[in-house]
Amino acid sequence: MNLTEGVEEREFDGRQRLATCGEAVYGEPVEDGWRAWDPHRSKVGAMIEKGMDLGLPDEPTVLYLGAASGTTVSHVADFSGPTYAVEFAPRPVRDLVGVAEDRRNLFPLLKDARKPETYAHVVERDVDAVIQDVATRGQADVALGNREFLADDGRLLAAVKARSEDVTRDPGDVFSDVLDRLSEGYEVLETERLEPYHEDHLAVVARPRI
């Protein structure tokens, strides 16, 4: 397992689990300040459990697309520097704001990840990672549109949802098309299906094409 700095395996209820150090958010077990990170509720957690190399530096600057109510982005903020959390739906953002109260490096943005121009004045350039977990058609286009924020040696960490692209097609065919589109702006370094944690999801680690 390739653990990112700030992520450890800790014992909870007699078994080893991923953990980050921070305030609890969704009722997860906490021991000595370390909170269990459930890969069934987090695509990034599942990527780490599957042994993927995220390629992140210590305390990375992160743009997180599709932050929802803050389950995964709270863990990411636990080991990161400035973390910009983009979420389109107002209801989850209210929860996200609450999560940010305990994390001064977490900045919630009520914005649409498909319209990066609406938050370009807020998010710094040359972030170390764009983490994408959006349930929309055109997920590759979202990644390409947000490439402008990513440092030349940064990483795209994307969880591609086949059913959000087309519920009628075979997920493998959907993933192939998304990867072809991504290749227009990214070099794909690694891919991994996220079963058994998340059905019909493909995790992608990529870097910008220069």
Structure confidence at residue 125 (pLDDT): 93
**Structural domain for 168, as ranges:** 38-208
Does 67 count as an annotated binding residue?
Answer: no
Q: Using one digit for the tens of pLDDT, what is the confidence trace for 28-76?
A: 999 999 999 999 999 999 999 999 999 999 999 999 999 999 999 999 9
Does 44 count as an annotated binding residue?
Answer: no
Structure confidence at residue 175 (pLDDT): 97
Does 89 count as an annotated binding residue?
Answer: no
| Residue 102 counted as domain residue | yes
| Residue 29 counted as domain residue | no
Positive or negative, the CA dihedral 55, 85, 174, 194 is positive
Taking the model in full, what pTM does it have? 0.97
| Residue 21 counted as domain residue | no
Does 136 count as an annotated binding residue?
Answer: yes
Does 133 count as an annotated binding residue?
Answer: yes
Burial pattern 55-83, b for ≥16 Cβ within 10 A else e, equals: bbbeebbbbbbbbbbbbbbbbbbbbbebb
| Residue 175 counted as domain residue | yes
CA-CA distances (angstroms) from residue 130 to 20, 67, 144?
19, 12, 11
For the chain, the first-to-last Cα distance in angstroms comes to 29
Q: Which residue has the higher pLDDT, 13 or 200?
A: 200
| Residue 197 counted as domain residue | yes
| Residue 94 counted as domain residue | yes
Indicate which CATH number applies to the domain containing 148: 3.40.50.150
| Residue 141 counted as domain residue | yes
Provide the pLDDT confidence category of residue 4 given band limits of 50, 70 and 90: confident
| Residue 23 counted as domain residue | no
Q: Using one digit for the tens of pLDDT, what is the confidence trace for 134-190?
A: 999 999 999 999 999 999 999 999 999 999 999 999 999 999 999 999 999 999 999
Does 113 count as an annotated binding residue?
Answer: yes
Domains: count for the chain: 1
Q: Please report, to the nearest 10 degrees, the dihedral formed by the alpha carbons of residues 71, 75, 81, 82 taken in order.
A: 0
Q: Using one digit for the tens of pLDDT, what is the confidence trace for 115-145?
A: 999 999 999 999 999 999 999 999 999 999 9
Structure confidence at residue 71 (pLDDT): 96
Does 117 count as an annotated binding residue?
Answer: no
Positive or negative, the CA dihedral 41, 120, 160, 204 is negative
pLDDT at 1 over 80: no
Contacts of 169 (CB under 8 A, 6+ apart): 162
Structure confidence at residue 3 (pLDDT): 87
Does 191 count as an annotated binding residue?
Answer: no
Contact present, 102 and 70 (Cβ < 8 Å): no
